[in-house]
Structure 1
């Protein structure tokens, strides 16, 4: 048995805990060995579970918005802050998205499954297809973030793994081939934790959207719609709770189980200091400012009624369902209702406010925390080991991707408006004002804003601000990630009856009181630096990305 094979089998010792429901019943219950592996169809199914183990990280999904203007990570050791503020480098790359462990497992499965003599052909095709989708997802992530990487098959030794990087276009072709071959052999309806036809189409759609291949993105979105098995969850808030994990809106999610394989420490890391949380990943005032008023007007439009001293009043309902803001009610891990106050240094009676930004490292530096996946906190028995299952693909993304692609291809239409309206009305927002958003350019603004607030905290924002361009032709990231990141300053009246107006914000507070950190984004930050350890271990890789 070669070293790679030993390594992959060792990784399967705990692979049986990747997902839930019926999928877990096929998980390996003991260590796989060379003598017993690749003899039966069950062996292939067990090894496929190992390919799923780590295909995506729920924690990474939750942290990803910290690489954008919508999120902030204070604790530098977690690796996301350096990328968010633009201080990353090859020697200090921050969070790493570079790795071949999952790809290696998929490659081994695709090779070794051919040794099984008695596996039914349909089952074999389905296993191969799922492995190809997992492999494609790994390459898609690295390709978009790093801009071209080596394609590695099954090296027999370290030297054979030292390959030059392929171009971004070559990786895209490789991904497309894997997905196009896989889709016909995938099941339409799958147990939670498995990737079916909808997930493969969603990956194809997202990849096409990110690279501006509008026709392909639209076509794949339509194929998902035509499957007829997905629909919007009536309650936006429920979608991000344990109770909503079986929603027909969810196309794919990273599955966790409290007693078998919990979601590390992410939920505790999101909660505020006063309830024992770490405030490791928190939303920003930039996100708050992006939401429309509940009337559908933007905050800067005449007649909107926006009051900067009460910025949470009468906003898009998704703001309150996504963000825990000063003055809002929240549910503690013990099930008690409390008022979130991150504005006052001391509380009534002179008690130190543990949630004031300067009180402790674990106090939110932006004065905000996430409600997505954390509300109510008592839905989890242990906030440090939960069964929260962050969503990778959901049906709302399909609708808005279709709308964005079709608008870029042909401009506004009844079809585009209808798909946007489905998403807006589900959240309690009015339908699109077609007179105001009558041109491709104006509707593009609305689609971008709708996508921004609909998926806030779900890890998509970094990619969007890299691919979207402003009227100056520059990446949106060059505008929103350059300059100071600021928080709101003010006070909270706990006796107030309206959670939306308990906080009074001082828009004229000095810049020094509002500063969270200074951020920089240069054009070459479109791609992350290749970690120096990659270049050191692989002299054939080639040069680092330009600018690093």
Structure 2
């Protein structure tokens, strides 16, 4: 059964009561529920129920666009509109009544349990043991991912391993974080042992995806040996490789790139990705919902490998994009770049000037409208080669956001090698592969010659490579902060980089300059008032999300996270 049928399946099964509604995980099955006489008779029935479990499996709150929003929680991203309470995360104003509701992941878990509880009803003659195990492995992978995701964002969580028969059955207390993580890993390990090595169709979960889940969550939880082992297993599959054209995999034409391990599937019209409009700036009819910050730009080295604040780097704050790591323009779209916008009309990307050379108002000026990028920049991923690859409405597209890719696995291996202090040279070899792929120079081994310095390098390279893909917040709340001597300060990185004023650049674009990287002319004397985007706060309570009050009211056994 093709994944393009997922939407109709979800609607069909939900309407018949087999699945929960979108409003309340704890809804009970209505009287017209599917019965064993009408369902669970063939392998096609199982396939339908398993397929339905894929609906929004990556994030049951906002779907596949979660990866784009989550960097806006961090120092490298920004969201202006506060859609789905996302801006509250970045500015530190989350509360039990104004926070992302990732607790809705239990809707996905329920769909998985529906399959697990009923699959044995299918006659053995209708399905082979191999088919059965693969179906089970897919839903146990999704259930394991979901519990792991909940433990990562909330800490303690409810372990839901059955379909509640009554409302009271669903009112369970939170289990300790460690127990939830153990339960999640048990599901993922079982899945890895029983799932097919390659997916039956694009978008299905197979061994590489499950091992990537195991690697990712173990890394996030500080289980470096386990994360390294899982990463090595992904590598040993010999199914994936770095795409020599970095931006290719983020385009519609590159969705079969060998770097991609798993995407969230969308099919135009049938099961469309409806949020391309959030990528683009105001002049191109977009909403600029998630955009990079100057903090992101400042992480990139100069072309010679020196940091911008390093002696002899040649950094010019008046022309901050000039002579930089070539990967910068593959990550961030900044003023001065040549740009092909709406209707394939070329122009110079300009968010700095309030008025354009022809005298017209600049719709992309950073305060021209709510839909203009307030940082003055856009993420480059998924926007190239041009806007014409998407539907005119930008809300009916077959874009399949990447959930797991090979570069993440390599970076996981590099970080584990550093934290385990096993092989710093191999960690830098991995980093070199990513740098050189993007057109940059190899790492200066004489400069990065201690564990502390290589750790700093690997963390920065992880941020640069995966920028705009939703990793940064989870990284900075887990990473310990180190001082210049290599000693821990007792804080997490988030406590250092999140609080304070978030600034943009002000200036003008020189249309007579032939070099796109020198066209932006920054006013280094611009006032703080002109540059200020927002004031951000951060408290240790934000290491975990609050459970929304509506969820607390529905289940009196839940206890709120500390500080909320």
- TM-score over 0.5 (shorter chain): yes
Deviation at 1:412, TM superposition (A): 4.4
Distance 1:523 1:384, change over 3 A: same
Are the equivalent residues in 2 in contact too, given 1:412–1:438 (CA < 8 A)? no
- Distance in 2 of aligned mates of 1:374 and 1:401: 26
Structure 2 gaps of 5+ residues are 1-9, 20-31, 483-488
Deviation at 1:98, TM superposition (A): 3.5
Q: For 1:164-183, list aligned pairs within 5 A.
A: 164-183=173-192
Distance 1:460 1:97, change over 3 A: farther
Deviation at 1:8, TM superposition (A): 8.5
Q: Is 2:522 the counterpart of 1:505?
A: yes
- Distance in 2 of aligned mates of 1:271 and 1:12: 39
Deviation at 1:368, TM superposition (A): 0.8
Secondary structure of the structure 1 residue equivalent to 2:53: helix
Secondary structure of the structure 2 residue equivalent to 1:534: helix
Q: Is 2:317 the counterpart of 1:308?
A: yes
Deviation at 1:305, TM superposition (A): 1.7
- Distance in 2 of aligned mates of 1:11 and 1:307: 61
- Distance in 1 of aligned mates of 2:457 and 2:175: 36
- Distance in 2 of aligned mates of 1:297 and 1:412: 24
Are the equivalent residues in 1 in contact too, given 2:424–2:451 (CA < 8 A)? no
Matching residue of 2:233 = 223
- Distance in 2 of aligned mates of 1:83 and 1:413: 35
Q: Is 2:161 the counterpart of 1:144?
A: no
Are the equivalent residues in 2 in contact too, given 1:400–1:420 (CA < 8 A)? yes
Deviation at 1:516, TM superposition (A): 0.4
Residue among 49, 55, 72 paired with 2:78 = 72
- Distance in 2 of aligned mates of 1:518 and 1:325: 23
Moved more, 384-393 or 448-457: 384-393
CA-to-partner distance for each residue in 1:30-79, whole Å, 9 max, x for gaps? x9953431000111011111011111222111111111111111112432
- Distance in 1 of aligned mates of 2:362 and 2:33: 53
Matching residue of 2:491 = 474
- Distance in 2 of aligned mates of 1:151 and 1:32: 25
Matching residue of 1:90 = 96
Residue among 339, 346, 350 paired with 2:348 = 339
Q: Is 2:263 the counterpart of 1:257?
A: no
Matching residue of 1:387 = 398
RMSD across aligned positions (CA):
1.9
Distance 1:475 1:444, change over 3 A: same
- Distance in 2 of aligned mates of 1:48 and 1:338: 47
Distance 1:95 1:330, change over 3 A: farther
Q: For 1:527-546, list aligned pairs within 5 A.
A: 527-541=544-558, 543-546=559-562
Residue among 121, 135, 138 paired with 2:129 = 121
Matching residue of 2:51 = 49
Moved more, 131-140 or 415-424: 415-424
Are the equivalent residues in 2 in contact too, given 1:333–1:380 (CA < 8 A)? no
Matching residue of 1:9 = 13
Are the equivalent residues in 2 in contact too, given 1:201–1:224 (CA < 8 A)? yes
Q: Is 2:414 the counterpart of 1:403?
A: yes
Are the equivalent residues in 2 in contact too, given 1:8–1:105 (CA < 8 A)? no
- Distance in 2 of aligned mates of 1:210 and 1:70: 19
- Distance in 1 of aligned mates of 2:372 and 2:102: 26
Q: For 1:320-469, list aligned pairs within 5 A.
A: 320-375=329-384, 376-382=386-392, 383-469=394-480
CA-to-partner distance for each residue in 1:106-129, whole Å, 9 max, x for gaps? 001011111011210000000000
Are the equivalent residues in 2 in contact too, given 1:12–1:47 (CA < 8 A)? no
Matching residue of 2:486 = none
Q: For 1:182-331, list aligned pairs within 5 A.
A: 182-190=191-199, 191-265=201-275, 267-331=276-340
- Distance in 1 of aligned mates of 2:33 and 2:388: 38
Secondary structure of the structure 2 residue equivalent to 1:344: coil
Deviation at 1:169, TM superposition (A): 0.3
- Distance in 2 of aligned mates of 1:241 and 1:540: 46
Matching residue of 1:20 = none
Are the equivalent residues in 1 in contact too, given 2:92–2:536 (CA < 8 A)? yes
Deviation at 1:480, TM superposition (A): 1.2
Are the equivalent residues in 1 in contact too, given 2:103–2:547 (CA < 8 A)? no
- Distance in 1 of aligned mates of 2:241 and 2:148: 26
Structure 1 gaps of 5+ residues are 1-5, 16-30
Matching residue of 1:484 = 501
Q: Is 2:534 the counterpart of 1:517?
A: yes
Matching residue of 2:64 = 58
Q: TM-score, normalised by structure 2?
A: 0.90
Alignment coverage as a number of residue pairs: 526
- Distance in 2 of aligned mates of 1:433 and 1:412: 16
Distance 1:489 1:222, change over 3 A: same
Deviation at 1:199, TM superposition (A): 0.6
Matching residue of 2:511 = 494
- Distance in 1 of aligned mates of 2:71 and 2:235: 27
CA-to-partner distance for each residue in 1:274-297, whole Å, 9 max, x for gaps? 111111111111111111122222
